[in-house]
A and B are shown apart, each in its own frame.
Chain A
Amino acid sequence: MIKALVRFKKGILDENPIFSQAIALCPVLAVTTTVNNGIGLGVATLSVLFASAMVVCFIRRFISDRVRIPCFIVISATFTTVVQLLMEAFLPALNDSLGIFIPLIVVNCLILARMESFAAKNPPLTVAFDSLGMGLGFTLALTLIGAVREVMGFGTVFGITVIPEAIPRNILMILPPGGFFVLGFLIVGLRALKRKGA
């Protein structure tokens, strides 16, 4: 139990997929132009990650080592399809703004990495907390980046205007280069905070 909780915390803080491991950056930079997009993609990835990791954890003894990667992909593709159909049905607007990046969750390297390096080797409870922690860490990172870019690029948060209309918007922030700048500065800031705390 203790080990499981440690994994949960590490996924969010010390081993945060975005800020510490810097993996799965393509969707992060592409869609985090608003808070809503960030939360949406984060939660979608979290659900696929959790479900796939649990399945891998339970059926791993039936998967031959040689074909494990194709099996992992099939499993995550199954859950991605579920998530996409649910989104299309209940959140069509979000689905439209995330576009191709929902189906691309299948090949998200965070999910593959957790399945390969953790879910296939650890007991179910630890795997559950690990994938929840990683997924939450991913979601929080996307939300944070999305918030910064939405405030600077659109002057809004959750679509509510927070910067007066008269001030020109910084269009660069909602272009992909802006995503790199924001990510870089957030990593610098978090590392500085961490060093201070340590």
Chain B
Amino acid sequence: MERPRYTVTATPHIRASDSIERTMYYVLIALAPAAVMGVVFFGLRALAVIGISIASAVIFEALYQKLTRKPVTVKDGSAVITGLLLAMTLPPALPLWMPVIGSFAAIVLVKQLFGGLGHNFLNPALAGRAILMAAYASPMTVAFYTPNVWGSVDAVTSATPLLLMESGVFTPSAPDFLASFAGNIGGSIGETAAFALLAGGLFLLVKKVITWHIPVSFIASAGVLAFLLNPGGVSGGIALYHILAGGLLLGAFFMATDYPTSPVTPVGKVIFGAGCGVITMVIRLYGGYPEGVAYAILLMNLAVPLIDRYTRPRVLGIKKRGA
């Protein structure tokens, strides 16, 4: 019998060129501008936090996979991104050993113990931050300082704009918007430069790494609530400032969109994003913490299986029950 000239294989026959490495590579490129701006404004100290966070995340991942005799997959870049994202949510003056504990929580507790890449039930970087917040509340809330281009040694410890707004002694004026857009304000390393985060988010959208549903519904719902519920009366300015300040843009574009911890369908994604926005604003306006993005995303991560269950698309040709 003559051999057929074509190969016979099982489906799928058409493959996209996407791969884990490629996706992670795009996310790294998208995160880079905001991380660089963080180093510009907060100095070498911020660079050290970022470096230690990434290095420890990669080492923990390799170590865990070695110890459990699994294939070591640090080359896929996911641990690098987790480390970078974690560092970007940390205050720049944090003691340098704390990011190591955060990375351990993110990589070992949340990611690897639950099965590794794609099986984490929470966003690892945010879980790392939340555990640091629970363990070392005081360093995590006071280690902010005023930005100081190319950061001098005697940077002044200062409260972030959201902390000031929480205590009701701060109303943003025009220069504040510009500063917040550029990143020239106090805050966590990678959350202050709004323009860099927007650029990175747009890059991910263009490259189709993420879809618009989660960021847009997240930012819109937070903005609308900030507009309507502002304690000093309805104010568009305050709403815009709430969007620019804090970790909202970082969370909306880079953390809420994490594949394993966000819903599958477009409708589910919109519900998920809106929920994140609502919880964020409730924590910011009525809660004890000045910032709620991290907890909002973590809480909605837990709701993802439920959202997926109720937004499951109808199978073609089968009627909905009760319809």
Contacts and interface: CB of A to CB of B under 8 A. Distances in A.
Contacts of B138: 168
Nearest to A172: B135
Contact of A173 (B95, B135, B137, B139): B135
A77 B95 CA distance: 50
- Across the A-B interface, give the 8 residue pairs with the lowest CB-CB distance, nearest first: A172-B135, A170-B135, A172-B134, A168-B136, A168-B139, A171-B135, A172-B131, A171-B137
Interface string A168-179: 101111010100
9 contacts: A168-B95, A168-B136, A168-B138, A168-B139, A170-B101, A170-B135, A171-B134, A172-B131, A172-B135
Contacts of B136: 168, 170-171
B60 to A, nearest CB: 14
B134 A175 contact: yes
Contacts of A170: 101, 135-136
Interface SS majority for chain A: helix
Interface string B91-130: 0000100000100000001000000000000000000000
Nearest to B67: A192
Interface in A80-139: none
Interface string A157-169: 0000000000010
B134 A177 contact: yes
Contacts of A168: 95, 136, 138-139
Contacts of B109: 181
Nearest to A177: B134
Contacts of B95: 168
Contacts of B101: 170
Interface in B126-182: 131, 134-139
Residue among A170, A172, A173 facing the most chain B CB atoms (10 A cut-off) = A172
Contacts of B131: 172
The CB with the most chain A CB atoms within 10 A, among B101, B135, B139, is that of B135
A168 B237 CA distance: 39
A168 B94 CA distance: 11
Contacts of B137: 171
Contacts of A175: 134
B108 to A, nearest CB: 10
Contacts of B134: 171-172, 175, 177
Contacts of A171: 134-137
Contacts of A177: 134
Contacts of A181: 109
Interface in A40-75: none
A90 B109 CA distance: 42
A181 B109 CA distance: 9
Interface-central residue, A168, A171, A173, A181, by most chain B CB under 10 Å? A168
Given A170-B101, A170-B136, 15 more contacts: A168-B95, A168-B136, A168-B138, A168-B139, A170-B135, A171-B134, A171-B135, A171-B136, A171-B137, A172-B131, A172-B134, A172-B135, A173-B135, A175-B134, A181-B109
Nearest to A175: B134
A172 B109 CA distance: 14
A70 to B, nearest CB: 41
B23 to A, nearest CB: 31
A172 B135 CA distance: 4
A35 to B, nearest CB: 20
A92 to B, nearest CB: 32
A170 B95 CA distance: 13
Contacts of B139: 168
Contacts of A172: 131, 134-135
Nearest to A192: B67
A177 B105 CA distance: 13
Nearest to A170: B135
A173 B132 CA distance: 11
